[in-house]
Structures are given as structure tokens and as C-alpha cells.
Amino acid sequence: MAGGISLKELAAELKLAPSTVSRALNDSYEISEATKKKVISMAEKLNYHANPFARSLRENKSKTIAVIIPERINNFFAQVMDGIEEIAQEQGYHLLVYNTHEDVEREKKIVNLLLNGRADAIVMSVTSQTSDITHLLKLHDRGLPIIFFDRVRAEIPTTKFITNDYESAYEGTKHLINQGCRKIALLTLGKELSTTKERQRGYNDAIVSEGWDLDPGLTLYCCHDEENNVKLIGDLLASSNRPDGILASVEKLAFATYQTVKRTELRIPTDIKLISFSNASVANLLNPSLTTITQPALSIGNECAKLLIKKLTKPKNYDLLDQVITIPSKIMVRESTLIE
């Protein structure tokens, strides 16, 4: 279709052997400066571009990294993507992007698709549904370098980049308590999620540290569907067990909370205080502005890409050690947790 000239044709034009032209183009030391110049200028003149598939086939690498995220309309993941791309573009890597929409079946399909080596490596965050991880193990067993970020799986022996979820959730809950909350709910996603577990631990410990009892009814496991979440949160707010503080584990659950509260007589922060993990730049434009636990998304993306590319280009010196690297989040206090 897109008919470009081949190396052979370029060589013919130059009355040189293909191998010579290839070496010249790759700036090999064995080629004279004179021919290099000739070759390069002719290549430009004829608009020659090396076929990436021939090269990938030959070299067994594609200069491509696959990124799998559970959600695209989410400032955290979008920023991580930007962070990955920043480094990737710099290093001449391409990004194959897949959105699982929090659907494990989709995740499995995508992961299986990547088994064929289309990408040199993978960086991913699992879905909130992901429980069984044989599909991920297969990936790793196949020798495909893989890095997890944020939502990780400890069972896969590789490097993971996360934030200090336990501390953040602990501090966030403590913050609510300090602001006068006495009954705090946790809104979160799937139980299997590493982030959910850590954040729940932090939340639990903060509650217990006050000498309070844990109320399982105050932990809500939400899902991908906004409408459903609004219903779930609405039921909690309408119940006799209504919390006066909420810690949302994901940005969209904070938004869902706003939407829910809007339909009631309740007010934030008067009746309910709200803090949420979120990288939304509009946090301070919400009504009221939202107190957030903001994750270092760009850095996470940067670090993932840097490590992966090092591993790909210098496999001897860099390994994807089975370790967890933590970059801390920041709490940004705003109106949604104010004492009025």
C-alpha cells in the first residue's frame, strides 16, 4: 500500500551492495565517510525509510512498549501515560496502548495478544476485577519484561512502582478524624486490588488507633459503573449508618459522591467531609473544592519507562528485580474537609 523504496533499490541506485548501504545508514565504523555521505544523501533524496518489520524480525525487537491501563478517563492514568511517553519518545520507543475498562476478560485477551512479541515489554496496572493471574504469570514466564505500577501483583517477581498507599490512607483518615469526623466510610474498588488492600489497611489502622470499632458496613466496594456507584453511595447516605466522613480510593468515586450528595439535603463539608485519591486538576474548582491525596503520576510513568528501557537496551546491567519502589503521594487540603 504505502509504497516506499527498499534497501535493495536504494543500493541499486547507488551501485552499491545492500549490505554496504545498510552499514552506512547504521553509521558502521567499517564504512568510509565518503560513501556514508553519498548513501545518506541519496537515502534522503529518495525518501528511504527502513522497514521496521524487517528490522524487528531480524533483530528480534520492536522498539515498542505496551501499556495496559484500566481506565483512560482518569487523570492519574493519563498522567502516568504522559510520563511513560515522555521517556519513550526520547529513546525512540513507540507505545502500544490498551484500555481494559476494568474488565478482566479484556485484560486477558490483551495480554494473550501480547504473547506473540509484538511489544518488547509491558507496563501495566491491573483491573479491579483481576483475581486469577495465570494470564500475567504466562507473560512473565515467557520472558517478557513486565513492570507493574500502582495496582500491582506481588506474585509476579518483577519491579513494581507504587505510592505509599498505607500511609496516605492512614493520614487521610486521620485528617478526617482531626476535622471532627466520627464515622468514616471507605469507598473503594475490587477487594483483590493491591491498592485497595493497602488503603484499607491504612484506613483500618487509623480507625483502630482511635480505639474505635471497625464497621464493615462502612467499606463500600464500588465498580466501574457510575450509576451503580451513585446508587450504592446513596443507600449508605440514606441509611441509619450515615457516615460523616468519606475516604474515596479513586477519583471517580469522589465525583460519584458529589453527584450523590447533590441529590440529597446533605452538604459537603458540613454534613460529610470528603477526601479522595485524585490527580484531577479541577479538584480546586469543585463545589466545594476537593481535598486530595495526589499521586506522583508523572514520576511513576517516567521511572517505569526509564527502568524498562534500560533493561531493554542493557539487559546485562539492569534487571527487573522483584522489588517494590515507593514514591510518596501528597495530601492537598481543600474545602471538602474544612471544619465549618
Partner DNA sequence: TTGTAAGCGTTATCAA
Partner DNA sequence: TTGATAACGCTTACAA
Residue 45 binds a copy of itself, judged by CB under 8 A = no
| Site pattern 47..86 for DNA (x: CB under 7 A) | -xxxx--xx-xxxx--------------------------
Task: Give the closest residue to 308 by CA, choosing from 133, 155, 160.
Answer: 160
Q: Which residues contact 102 (CB under 8 A, 6 or more apart)?
A: 70, 71, 127, 128, 129, 189, 223, 224
CB atoms within 10 A of CB 265: 6
Q: What is the spatial distance between Cα 110 and Cα 105, in angstroms, rounded to a whole number? A: 9
Coil vs helix vs strand at 235: helix
Q: Which does 85 bind (CB under 5 to 8 A by kind): DNA, a copy of itself, none?
A: a copy of itself
Q: Which does 30 bind (CB under 5 to 8 A by kind): a copy of itself, DNA, none?
A: DNA
> According to DSSP H, which parts of 91-193 are helical?
104-113, 134-141, 165-178
Candidates 30-38, 156-164, 201-209, 229-237 — which segment interacts with DNA by CB under 7 A? 30-38
Which one, 50 or 298, has the nearer CB to DNA? 50
Looking at 27, 34, 44, 73, which residue binds a copy of itself (CB under 8 A)?
A: 73
Q: What is the spatial distance between Cα 63 and Cα 46, in angstroms, rounded to a whole number? A: 25
Residue 164 binds a copy of itself, judged by CB under 8 A = no
Minimum gap (Å) between residue 272 Cβ and DNA: 57
The DSSP output letter for 30 is: T
Looking at 25, 36, 40, 94, which residue binds a copy of itself (CB under 8 A)?
A: 94
Q: What is the spatial distance between Cα 171 and Cα 202, in angstroms, rounded to a whole number? A: 8
Binding residues for a copy of itself (CB under 8 A): 1-4, 47, 49-54, 56-57, 60-62, 64, 72-73, 75, 78-79, 81-82, 85, 89, 94-99, 106, 109-110, 113, 115-118, 120, 142-145, 226, 255, 258-259, 262, 280-282, 284-289, 315
